[in-house]
Structure 1
């Protein structure tokens, strides 16, 4: 399934309230510099074009949502979605998400971490590049609040099974909790664009949720 070309951004859209680079994040960490209100924060690792950020920030205004994306054009596109929707509780960040977790986000500060359809790195010699490795999973545990949650979805069963095995053996998270598939009520009623493409092609999505106790 190939990616559709991104539409050209409207230069009139003001992204200043919805876009940062990792280097521009506040140090020391201070979410009050990023969002209109101080409230529970959820982070999406690999936000793509920002469908999850747009939807979640709208249906859950009592939480803040930050999405980090390594491809600048996608991060800008996600920021534009938030700006068009006047989402004062949404922020798109461009840069290395692993670095952001490691260097910027303090311990016990996140209500949830979302990882949807990460690159599976199919070749055996490339699997060390998978984002859900032991080091990053431990950073997720460190940054989650007690009862904070990790949401993990993929369309690759081998990746799913390997990640669940790694968490069970080495990571201090409780789970997995099964996540039911919700019928889509309209064309964009999916968590991400990748979920939409996968389900419209009648391919399975593997979902799990974990809790920090």
Structure 2
């Protein structure tokens, strides 16, 4: 795949949602208190809750929004944004070079309905996405992090699934796929234990790539070229309460 030409940060800016600048997040319990004979300790700085993303302001329209967690080089969103102009897409990628690569692809094509963010998707879903404000969340081929000491880096946890459920509107969808069966079964076990999600197996096949190349992400391309199986599932957001279930990996 030919590397897209390099664009400046200013040229890419219209396609980027930047995490708001950090504020003083000290709390009364965590801040160090000092007193002396001159008087009481100064007040502790406590930040206001983060502002939720205003989707209409971000995209300039009221079209439904879908989020992809871990965009990589951006192939899935490139296809989705091109073929579905009536939907808006936010791609979240924690690795800066991949976020820039994907953003460049969208900027070169002047796609108006896709934005990217270089951020921890768990933080964005938890703190910046308003409840029930997105139509779908896509989680494709997340890193499995095999070693126990690396498990804290795992993206798909019960807490993450709960935050995704809060973000998705009733009747919306959560799409998952992996070329690692053990990880796919872990994700499935978490979701099947949550009443706020209902599996829709009849939609799984329709969720498979409908592209000319037959794959939707670079990871899927590598899996198919090597003959590795790909597992995928679709879950509907129900009106049941969101719960954080026990982690099957513990």
**TM over 0.5, shorter chain:** yes
Cα displacement string for residues 6-36 of structure 1 (whole angstroms, at most 9, x for unaligned residues): 6662449821211232227x93421133213
The answer for the alignment partner of 1:17 in structure 2 is 14
Aligned partners of 1:94 and 1:38: how far apart in 2?
Answer: 24
Distance in 1 between the 2:156 and 2:9 partners?
A: 37
Structure with greater strand percent: 1
Write the mapping of 1:10-49 to structure 2, written as runs, cut at 5 A. 10-11=7-8, 14-23=11-20, 27-49=51-73
TM-score for both structures, normalised by structure 2: 0.76
Question: Partners of 2:166 and 2:51 in 1: how far apart?
Answer: 18
How far does residue 160 in structure 1 lie from its aligned partner after superposition?
0.8
Identify which range, 120-129 or 61-70, moves more after superposition. 120-129
The answer to whether 1:131 aligns with 2:128 is: no
Residue 202 of structure 1 is matched in structure 2 by 227
Counting matched residue pairs gives 207
Q: How does 1:55-74 map to 2 (within 5 A)?
A: 55-74=79-98
**Alignment match, 1:100:** 124
Give 2:243's aligned residue.
none
Q: 1:193 to 1:40 in 2, by over 3 A?
A: same
Unaligned runs of 5+ in 2: 22-49, 239-250
Structure 2 partner of 1:75:
99
5+ long unaligned stretches in structure 1 = none
Question: 1:67 Cα shift?
Answer: 0.3
Q: 1:174 aligns with which of 198, 202, 211?
A: 198
Partner residue of 2:212?
A: 185
C-alpha displacement of 1:127: 3.0
What's the TM-score once normalised by structure 1's chain length?
Answer: 0.88
Larger Rg: 2
Matched residue SS, 2:135: strand
